[in-house]
Amino acid sequence: MTIEHLNIDHVTVEFPTPGGTFRALDDIDLVIEKGEFVSLIGHSGCGKSTVLNVVAGLLQASRGGVVLDGTEVDEPGPDRAVVFQHHSLLPWLTAYQNVELAVKTVFRGAKSKAEMRDWIEHNLRLVHMEHARDKRPGEISGGMKQRVGIARALAMQPKVLLMDEPFGALDALTRAHMQDSLMEIHAELGNTVIMITHDVDEAVLLSDRIVMMTNGPAATIGQILAIGLERPRERVSLAASAQYNHYRAEVLKFLYERQRRPGEAKAEAPAEKTAGESPLPQKSPDLKVVRDKAVA
Amino acid sequence: MTFGTAGIAEFGKALLIPLLAFLLFLGIWEFSAARIQTSLGAVPGPVEVWKQAVNLVDEHREERARQAAFYERQDKRNAEALAQDPSAEVHIRPYTGKPTFVDQILTSLVTVFTGFLIASLIAVPIGIVSGLSQTMYRAINPIVQIFKPVSPLAWLPIVTIIVSAVYVTDDPMFAKSYITSAITVTLCCLWPTLINTAVGVASLDKDLVNVGKVLRLGWFTRVWKLALPAAIPMIFTGLRLSLGIGWMVLIAAEMLAQNPGLGKFVWDEFQNGSSNSLGRIMVAVFVIGLIGFLLDLGMLLLQKKVSWDKEAVLR
């Protein structure tokens, strides 16, 4: 029997509240292969971050569990590095020192001082931040901070890289740059990545599979879409690709037709129509849509 | 450097308005003081107070001159004695003149810093621990809330009696009055530092806490690399408040404990009741205020030096 790389095994998360138990996640079941890039997409409040926190070990599942390479995850650790939405760099340390803190903690005794220095510099180079190594987070732009945050996570040599809307707070151009960098790094290192996103284009462009979540409470996996686009992917040529636009439409349909947020049903009816105007799905022979669960 | 018209106007506003306000204050003071008769004569106005300030400085100079002359005489005497008989026993006695105003200022500063230092050494570590642990915070909170509002005048008798009972030596290194005053200062300036440190440590960004967890940082690293730098601004806010309170408390403590500082100066002048006394007390009031202001400024500069965030607006 082969052991799965990462098994999110029937995870249910409940929180006690004064009004009774609140079920945030219901029976999330997902197996991820080594080197796979998986996006979690869904409306805000659907528990995407909760899934990520359970995998990170920052939150305990009420039922079910997470198994990474045959070992159950029960606490946070550097083998599951997290890139947070708001960079979360230590503002009193320079870019270099931020990565250094991670490297010194993770590789204590395993790497010599010189090896650590090389490794820190290598990771800063990987995210194109070697020129700002001695700058503090307050002195660099949002995109640069996020790059350092990614360098810090990569420097831990994680088995799984967890990214919580890493580019959500960035402007569109910077975001595009960051996505290209991330694809480059993923191609080079082959890390397993789980990324939360709100951005449909980002999900289609970067992912091997897109996991679409239903609305909470008791959110679960509504649909999983495998993205069969060739790598390396190039955003400009893909914009005209029928296949790309089909995937995009598929995700949009899930989000805006089947999982329209209950509160938005009336108020945002016109806006919803605009979303529906996106290119119609074209029948494509190599379409790989996996419907895990029936969704009402 | 050149000033444009706007620059001059800005400079004028920055300097002129406070200056005018101060002159107005002096005017009102001079005008109303002359109309209030007390048992010690009319309340002194700014001119009279300035004269007393000059007097106090002169007295200090004279006292120092007397001290120098005393030592000169003693040295000469000893040198003569040794010249006559090399085996002669020479006496070196310290000068025992009364402390001057400047001496009293220095005594007050030493006392307040002693109390403040002890308080900080206790409050910062306890603050850190109670900021990190909710349990510790709950445990310590009622004690802090009860003791925080207690006046130094209530602490002083207790401290005096305990110090008298505990600090018993034949050759005391410090005067009891000094220890009593310093400890009273400590008791009053523990609290702002403690509370602000705890809040600063506890309000560490949740993402940074998670970074610490993901890295599996040890307890010490977590405190040293995460909690402490994050709490530095709050810790300094606490320290500044504490030093301010300590300085205020000190004057009262010195009055009652008879520690030879500014508090005792004020008390002695009050008891003395000469026609100069009110003016001299007012000089002390200004000096106390000015030193308090400079202490706060000093803490601010220290904070700027220590803080990682050089851009932060500090006031």
In CATH, what number is assigned to the domain containing residue B276? 1.10.3720.10
Domain-embedded: residue A106: yes
The answer to whether position B88 is within a domain reads no
B297: pLDDT strictly greater than 90? yes
Angle between helices B228-257 and B152-166 (to 10 degrees): 80
Which DSSP symbol is given to A131?
G
Q: Which residues of A touch B205 (CB under 8 A)?
A: 88
pTM: 0.78
Flag if B225 and A101 touch (Cβ within 8 Å): yes
> What residues of chain A lie within 8 A of the CB of B211, using their CB?
82, 84, 88, 90
Domain-embedded: residue A31: no
Instruction: Give the distance from residue A142's alpha carbon to the nearest chain B alpha carbon, in angstroms.
Output: 16
Total count of domains within chain B = 1
| B236 vs A contacts (CB less than 8 Å) | none
Judge whether B161 lies within some domain: yes
Q: Is residue A6 part of a domain?
A: no
Q: Is residue B288, in this structure, part of any structural domain at all?
A: yes
- Residue B88 confidence (pLDDT) above 80: no
Q: Is pLDDT of A285 > 50?
A: no
Interface probe, candidates B205, B213, B214, B225, chain A, greatest A C-beta count within 10 A: B214
Give the range of the structural domain holding residue A143, as residue numbers without chain letter.
90-154
pLDDT of residue B253: 93
Chain A interface includes B225 (CB < 8 A): yes
Between β-strands A221-226 and B41-42, what pairing exists: parallel, antiparallel or unpaired? Answer: unpaired
Distance, C-alpha A111 to centroid of its chain? 29
Q: What is the pLDDT of residues A94-141, one digit of tens each?
A: 999 999 999 999 999 899 999 999 999 999 998 889 899 999 998 999
Residue B85 lies in a domain: no
Q: Is residue A283 part of a domain?
A: no
Q: Could you tell me if residue B194 is inside a domain?
A: yes
pLDDT of residue A2: 64
> Residue B248's domain spans which residues?
103-306
**Domain-located, residue A265:** no
Residue B43 within a domain: no
> Residue written as tokens 């220890």?
B179
- Rounded to whole angstroms, how far apart are CA atoms A36 and A226? 11
Residue B15: inside a domain: no
Does residue A263 lie in a domain region? no
A24-80: per-residue pLDDT in tens? 899 999 999 999 999 999 888 888 999 999 999 999 999 999 999 989 998 999 999
Backbone angles phi, psi at A264, to 5 degrees: -90, -5
B206, B211, B311: best to mutate for the A interface, most A CBs within 10 A: B211
Closest chain A residue to B309, measured at CA: A92
Measured over the CA atoms of residue A60, residue A64, residue A68 and residue A71, the dihedral's sign is: positive
How many angstroms separate the CA atoms of A203 and A41, rounded? 8
Could you read off the pLDDT of B198-253 as tens digits, one per residue? Answer: 999 998 888 899 999 999 998 888 888 998 898 998 999 999 999 999 999 999 99
Task: Pick B210's closest partner by Cβ from A75, A82, A106.
Answer: A82
Q: Which chain B residues are Cβ-neighbours of A52 within 8 angstroms?
A: none
Asked if A96 contacts A134 with a C-beta cutoff of 8 angstroms, the reply is yes
Residues 64 through 93 of chain A touching chain B, CB cutoff 8 Å: 75-78, 80-82, 84, 86, 88, 90-92
Find the residue in B nearest to A94 (Cα): B308
Residue in B215, B221, B308 nearest the CB of A91: B308
**What are B89's two structure tokens?**
């026993």
Separation between Cα atoms, residue B10 and residue B62, nearest integer Å: 45
A180 lies in some domain = no
Residue A219 CA, chain-centre distance (Å), reads 17
Task: Tell me if A138 and B215 make a contact (CB, 8 A cut-off).
Answer: no
- Out of A80, A81, A92, the one facing B229 most closely (by C-beta) is A92
Q: State the nearest Cα–Cα gap between A78 and chain B, in angstroms.
A: 5
Total domains in chain A come to: 1
Nearest CA distance, B217 vs chain A (angstrom)? 7
